[in-house]
Structure 1
Amino acid sequence: MRITEINTIFADRYLFVEVKTDAGITGLGESGAWAFLEASAEAVNTFKRYLIGEDPLRIEHHWQYLYRCYHFRGAAIMGALSAIDIALWDIAGKSFNVPVYQLLGGKCRETARVYYHVFGETREELIQGCLDAKAGGFTAVGHLTPFLDEPRERPYFKTHRAKIADAIESVAEYRDAVGDDVDLCIEIHRQLSPAEAIALGRGIEEFHPFFYEDPVRPDNIDAMAEVARAISIPIATGERLHTIEEFEMLLSRGGARYVRPDVCLAGGISQSKKIAAIAEAHGAQVVPHNPLSPVSTAACIQLAACIPNFALQEYPTGEDLPPKSGIVRSSLTIEDGFIIVPDAPGIGIELMPDAAERYPYKAREYVTRLHKDGSVFDQ
């Protein structure tokens, strides 16, 4: 079997990669390069100069060949490599007529617990999102910010006292709304300094969040570890990290108890399995990052199925998302807040032939939020 064709497909806000073979098997992957998908597509076009004509089942060799050839890294490149890796695993599963997880050691679990995305520009909207999740049978909510999902065009300003006190009050109300039946995954979106992150973390400890995600920018692992040492809530981070070495440094410094590799950014299924093993050695658990399409979800579930230290899966929901039936054919089903691990070959999902036509590509707007004083504010 040989690779004959590699195509990039833009649909809605996503970049998909199809790898075709002379055996009639097509593999599907997705890039998680977020706002840099056009650059990621060009990286795929560069990689296919090597891949056309190669055996698709030499997955690890191809990964190493592409990653180590020209020495340079970054989100666009790693998103492209991740998409190709997922597609090659999809081909492998279909070739042997088994799910990908069966090629990676088999199932560790029958279902994967997921958390529901909650959005809102007001506290009332976020509380209602928590209640909707509970009513829908979900036992965890995430993407749950104590700072509101305010428009990036709106300049930001609050005093330190108001910023921390309002955030603590928000988390208290989220907990009151759902009681002990729903876990709260508190998302900070890198908005705080280490000092602010410690103050807020200590202030919400009594509400027992499942985790405290990205309280500070992840560029400085030591700063994340400083926050982790000062509070009792587990830190979750890793969605911006690209390599197994970065995750090893994060964990060895005590910077996280939950790691968040993005299967579509951190090297695909191949490297995400290795990241999970590194986390296992450190006693940490895995919460795969997944703000993308159902293709990403399908790849994440293959990982969740075969690792012993899986904790929770991000499950994107929102009114702006296209219907899953319109963009993919999927073998995934969800019951009571758990995705049933599928038994379909490969990653268990197919792109609809007309997905790109039905959902024209929408490039993400490039809007960085500013502070009232005109400086850049992280959101």
Structure 2
Amino acid sequence: MALREIKALYLVLASAALLLCNKGECSSFGARRGLAAAVETVFDVTKFGARPDGRTDGSLQMIRAWNAACKSGAPAKLVFPPGKFVAGEVVFQGPCTTTTPITIEIQGTILSSTDLSVFTQGVWISIENVNGVIVTGGGTLDGRGASAWEYAGGDGAGLLPVSLQMLKVQNGVIQNINLLNSKGFHSKVTWSANITVSDLTITAPADSPNTDGLHISSSQNVNVTNLTIATGDDCISVGEGNTNIAISKVTCGPGHGISIGSLGKRPAEKDVNGVTVTNCTLTGTTNGARIKTYHASPPMRASGIVYEDIIMNGVRNPIIIDQHYNSGKKDQPSRVQITDVHFRNIRGTSASPVAVNLDCSQAVPCQGVELADIDLAPAPGVAAISSACINTKPTLGGKLSLGQGGCQQ
């Protein structure tokens, strides 16, 4: 074939390839790449051997797909297509070389292994040491917790794995996914910064143990919004070492409320500063706006806390500071200093006779507590409500319907 004919054939083939790519039909190493550099290359886990059959463990294949996407050096998307995948412990480890935030798109359902022996790190799916990651897709992480709840420990997550964790992540997003029946916590953000969690549906039975919807610890600049949570423990728990946490538009119930803490259980815990909880609705929960600390704690502070514009529907303990939380035989009082706390515009009904219970530490009484525009009434079956304020003298403002008791004296 003459050189001129070879060049002509090459041009024809190149043009055909470009046309196919424009139609999204080009592929390379299990990935589909668009023409523009900004278009994400798709790394489909099924191309790496994961099977959407609801039976075959695809943990290793998922990790291989992640590694290829993470080290691709270009915009990348890890995709779980429709279907049911099974996985044991999976760690999506960075750092990555992608030029834009890497996307994990869960379109189908991922089922957790029911073999507890495969979870060696207390987590099911963990994203670690990544700067720039988005978890999305509208799919479901099903922890199949009913197979493990009988083995749950006492207070805390015990040894049962968290369904989804961000560890040492910078600039991360978790949005538009469903978390179902976790073994331990449904989700956890820890040692991370600049994280957004939004538009999640989190569901587990009211009697499922330690199935917090979202736990945040040792993190800063975390924004949580538009979550619907029904679970067996705290809908959201804000642990130690956090700064600048914003929680809004959360629908919670059943569950144990939206909590700061528990704090002070372990030595060397760090302060909590700047937590706002706004525009939330709690229904039938065992607690509402709660701050909880242990006896015999290390000296630390929890400050700059705001609960505002909260609706309580038949909630037990709608407003509570409990500095004697689950402390058993520990006689030493809590040394967590709680300051600059504001409960504002909280309204609804209390399912417990004591609607406002501020039970602070005798060693470090609460300071700078505000109760403003609190309008609580007895829920059906509760004859009357009252308030109790121990080791604190809150500032009172606006309209107050707290019932009888020490907080209004």
Q: TM-score range by the shorter chain?
A: under 0.3
Tell me which protein shows more helix as a share of its residues.
Answer: 1
TM-score calculated relative to the size of structure 2: 0.24
Which is strand-richer, 1 or 2? 2
Higher relative contact order (CA 8 A, sep 6+): 1
Q: Which has the larger radius of gyration?
A: 2
TM-score under structure 1 normalisation? 0.26
